[in-house]
Structure 1
Amino acid sequence: MSNFARRIFRKGMAVAAATAVFCGQMVPVTAHAASVRIKDIVDYEGVRDNPIVGYGLVVGLNGTGDRLTNTLFTRETLVGMLNRLGVNIRDRSIQLQTHDVATVMVTAWLPAFSHGGSHIDVTVSAVGDAQSLTGGTLVATPLKAADGETYAVAQGSLVTNAFTATGASASITRNVPTSGHIANGASVEREVPVLLGSSGVIHLSLKNPNFTTANRIANVINKNLGKGVAKVDDPRTVAVHLQGRKAAQTLYEIGDLTIEPDTMAKVIVDEAAGTIVMGSNVRISTVAIAQGNLTIQVAETPQAVQPNPLAGGQTAVVPRTQVNATTGSQERLGILKEGPTLSSLVTGMNALGMGPRDMISILQAIKADGALQADLEVR
């Protein structure tokens, strides 16, 4: 065991925040509980982005567009666009052979509080058999929402961040040349009304539902804005009563208030990558563990420190963790006493050079036995 690990054990892992696998070894991460802003862990009910989509044409391709003989919808779209521009070729026996045009789907997210004339980014993706959209220009394309109304119009030159090199008998492609991006490529034509606080109440939606976190949010709001302003409806929702205040000003005042969010006891295992991540709240009940000829024993023996009666001070409990790991075949099965953190067990595994695969097997066995007091999520 390294000197760093010994120092961690002498401190009793009192401030362990998480444990993770790095380079095949479990590493306890020590940190004090962090305070976060309320606006970073909640969403405001009714304030959301809206998906919009459109169908259009990309022109100016260097022979990498759709084959009009294979994609009839591209041909009909091109003929319809030319007719709208005053070029009537629908009734003529003209065989279109251009390969410089491609039909595309244009997608974007319309942010809340977007006003007419503001610009948003769009993503352009090929629909037909175009080989590449590199160097193309999107022709004006209306973007509609689920209600069928047009909320933005997109147009501009595409950037694909891809390239294709072709030789006599081989070719190479990097990234995806049939999908591009236009920064600020759409102009907002219609606003989505947001009735923020119209009922006199604003609901804060927690991104990670938790009763403890919700109550801490309500308590800090009531402490700063007045008693009874915030109430907890459920583990995901905190209702903030405006009481005559303006909604925007109220959100500004509570957004920068800080709390310490509560975290659930959970162990996340990615078997494919061999990754293990666990929180500091994970605990183990009494259990015996053996892995092949490996025996691990972890015990907590906290000691009370009593100050001199004349010296003042308070009685304190000093945590002491003992980890014993052996590989001898004559050793008995190790007993893991109730109480120690999972990071203590993991450090013992590291001392013998166990890999993440063995650790994952032990964690799954402990969970199956019911001794792991946490959710085990295997991906």
Structure 2
Amino acid sequence: MHKFLIGLMWLFAALLVADAARAERIKEIATIAGVRNNQIVGYGIVVGLDGTGDQTTQTPFTVQSMINMLSRMGVNLPPGQTLQLKNVAAVMVTAELPPFARVGQPLDVTVSSIGNAKSLRGGTLILTPLKGADGQVYAMAQGNVVVVGAGATGGGAKATVNHLAAGRIINGATVEREVPLSLAQGDSIQFELKRSDFGTAQRVVEAIERAMGPGVATAIDGRQIQVRLPAQPEARVAFLGRIENLEVTPVELPAKVIVNARTGSVVMNRAVTIEECAVAHGNLSVSVTPQTNVSQPAPLSAGQTVATTNTGIEIKQEERQLVQLKAGANLADVVKALNAVGANPQDLIAILQAMKQSGSLRAELEVI
């Protein structure tokens, strides 16, 4: 009896650990409405390349950009003067402006060639304004481009390691304008679930009310949860910090099978099960092989040498046994059984579609 009680206690402990392992913090399954990143972009020029820049005859915008930049610096070219540039490349500069970013905060930027430059390695980005969707300048970028890769050419041969037409500048931009965002406006705020689910929304409400008191949270729909904020603005940051770190066990995902028809990839979650069914799979291949022979006449005869064609036809059919799949099988059983049939990813797509049509596949089948 004593051993039985000890074993029962270990069982309950294991169940509690398993349940805690599935729990996630609210910050991992939901975001605060309006608190998000903003994309900013700009057009710039990278200089200092070792002869790997744009070919100016094919990218006239690179030459035009250099002429405009030089004119702003007080350098005026003679009329009709053409530039033959090899160390300059036109690029697009992109970055993400995080929420609550302040003036002077550094940002990482990505620099990508838009011309036919061979490599941006060793180049320097000239001061580039980065604009948002509203056309306002939110940051300025400049610095040395870091390209993780290498390339070499010679004797008609070419070798490239990684991608050379794009690079990064760590802390390469400085925030010049802030996006207005305040938590002190209004008496409530909304959390938005990353995946819409009414059950998960209700569990989030219950977790918030257990920690913060009844009536604090209300589920508006399957994605939005409205949370009442404290009246004191200085207490709202700590209040939201506590809520974001509350643990919630999301409702288990629905059974789903994702099929990528272009690559043949098939991904199934653990909730996928099947009804009892039988699957047989075999490949029929027909090969036609023409063989050319030369017909040579006998010596001193009046005949002529001609070419004749003999065609060989061969039909092969792989013999596969009928595999029976038991009802209620889990993901491991499904994969093991389909592998026993000898199905490759493309064949697996056809088998899953047929199982769905027959009603044997207890999951949603989505083809992307």
In the superposition, the TM-score normalised over structure 2's length comes to 0.76
Greater alpha carbon shift after TM alignment, 247-256 vs 353-362: 353-362
**Residues 281-296 of structure 1 aligned to structure 2 (within 5 Å):** 281-285=271-275, 287-291=276-280
> For 1:234, what is the secondary structure of its paired residue?
coil
Q: Distance in 1 between matches of 2:57 and 2:257?
A: 55
Identify if the C-alpha distance between structure 1 residues 50 and 348 changes in structure 2 by more than 3 Å, giving closer, same or farther.
Answer: closer
**Residues 259-270 of structure 1 aligned to structure 2 (within 5 Å):** 259-262=248-251, 263-270=253-260
Q: Distance in 2 between matches of 1:113 and 1:222?
A: 28
- Asked if the contact 1:102–1:126 (Cα under 8 Å) also holds between the matched residues in 2, the reply is yes
- Asked if the contact 1:61–1:135 (Cα under 8 Å) also holds between the matched residues in 2, the reply is yes
The residue that corresponds to 1:299 in the other structure is none
Q: Distance in 2 between matches of 1:248 and 1:211?
A: 27
The residue that corresponds to 1:195 in the other structure is 182
2:222 corresponds to 1:235: yes
The residue that corresponds to 2:148 in the other structure is 161
Q: Deviations over 1:61-85 (max 9, x none)?
A: 1112123333322222111111211
Identify if the C-alpha distance between structure 1 residues 351 and 54 changes in structure 2 by more than 3 Å, giving closer, same or farther.
Answer: closer
Aligned residue among 212, 221, 226 for 1:225:
212
Aligned residue among 197, 215, 235 for 2:202:
215
Q: Distance in 1 between matches of 2:231 and 2:329?
A: 49
> For 1:249, what is the secondary structure of its paired residue?
helix
Q: Distance in 2 between matches of 1:274 and 1:122?
A: 35
**Residues 255-334 of structure 1 aligned to structure 2 (within 5 Å):** 255-262=244-251, 263-270=253-260, 276-285=266-275, 287-291=276-280
Identify if the C-alpha distance between structure 1 residues 182 and 55 changes in structure 2 by more than 3 Å, giving closer, same or farther.
Answer: same
Identify if the C-alpha distance between structure 1 residues 328 and 65 changes in structure 2 by more than 3 Å, giving closer, same or farther.
Answer: closer
| Matched AA of 2:64 | E
* Number of aligned residues: 310
Q: Distance in 2 between matches of 1:229 and 1:134?
A: 55
- Asked if the contact 2:257–2:268 (Cα under 8 Å) also holds between the matched residues in 1, the reply is yes
- Asked if the contact 2:127–2:140 (Cα under 8 Å) also holds between the matched residues in 1, the reply is yes
Aligned residue among 339, 354, 364 for 1:365:
354
Q: Distance in 1 between matches of 2:170 and 2:268?
A: 39
> For 2:220, what is the secondary structure of its paired residue?
strand
The residue that corresponds to 2:309 in the other structure is none
Q: Kindly, what percent of the aligned residue pairs are identical? A: 43
> For 2:22, what is the secondary structure of its paired residue?
coil
The residue that corresponds to 1:178 in the other structure is 165
Identify if the C-alpha distance between structure 1 residues 341 and 222 changes in structure 2 by more than 3 Å, giving closer, same or farther.
Answer: farther
- Asked if the contact 2:207–2:248 (Cα under 8 Å) also holds between the matched residues in 1, the reply is yes
Task: Indicate the RMSD between aligned Cα atoms, in angstroms.
Answer: 2.8
Q: Distance in 1 between matches of 2:358 and 2:274?
A: 11
Identify if the C-alpha distance between structure 1 residues 70 and 291 changes in structure 2 by more than 3 Å, giving closer, same or farther.
Answer: closer
- Asked if the contact 1:46–1:196 (Cα under 8 Å) also holds between the matched residues in 2, the reply is no
The residue that corresponds to 1:149 in the other structure is 136
How many angstroms does 1:377 deviate by? 2.4
The residue that corresponds to 1:377 in the other structure is 366
Q: Deviations over 1:90-111 (max 9, x none)?
A: x445332231112211111111
How many angstroms does 1:378 deviate by? 3.4
- Asked if the contact 1:59–1:136 (Cα under 8 Å) also holds between the matched residues in 2, the reply is yes
- Asked if the contact 1:37–1:256 (Cα under 8 Å) also holds between the matched residues in 2, the reply is yes
| Matched AA of 1:374 | A
Greater helix percent: which structure? 2
- Asked if the contact 1:276–1:356 (Cα under 8 Å) also holds between the matched residues in 2, the reply is no
Greater alpha carbon shift after TM alignment, 356-365 vs 262-271: 356-365
- Asked if the contact 1:105–1:127 (Cα under 8 Å) also holds between the matched residues in 2, the reply is yes
Q: Distance in 2 between matches of 1:141 and 1:334?
A: 64
Q: Distance in 1 between matches of 2:81 and 2:265?
A: 61
The residue that corresponds to 2:294 in the other structure is none
Q: Distance in 1 between matches of 2:39 and 2:68?
A: 26
- Asked if the contact 1:291–1:362 (Cα under 8 Å) also holds between the matched residues in 2, the reply is no
Aligned residue among 63, 72, 75 for 2:63:
75
- Asked if the contact 1:349–1:359 (Cα under 8 Å) also holds between the matched residues in 2, the reply is no
The residue that corresponds to 2:36 in the other structure is 48
Aligned residue among 53, 62, 71 for 1:65:
53
Identify if the C-alpha distance between structure 1 residues 217 and 176 changes in structure 2 by more than 3 Å, giving closer, same or farther.
Answer: same
> For 1:191, what is the secondary structure of its paired residue?
coil
How many angstroms does 1:206 deviate by? 0.8
- Asked if the contact 2:63–2:85 (Cα under 8 Å) also holds between the matched residues in 1, the reply is no
How many angstroms does 1:176 deviate by? 2.2
Q: Distance in 2 between matches of 1:348 and 1:66?
A: 53
Larger radius of gyration: 2
Q: Distance in 2 between matches of 1:171 and 1:351?
A: 41
- Asked if the contact 2:103–2:176 (Cα under 8 Å) also holds between the matched residues in 1, the reply is yes
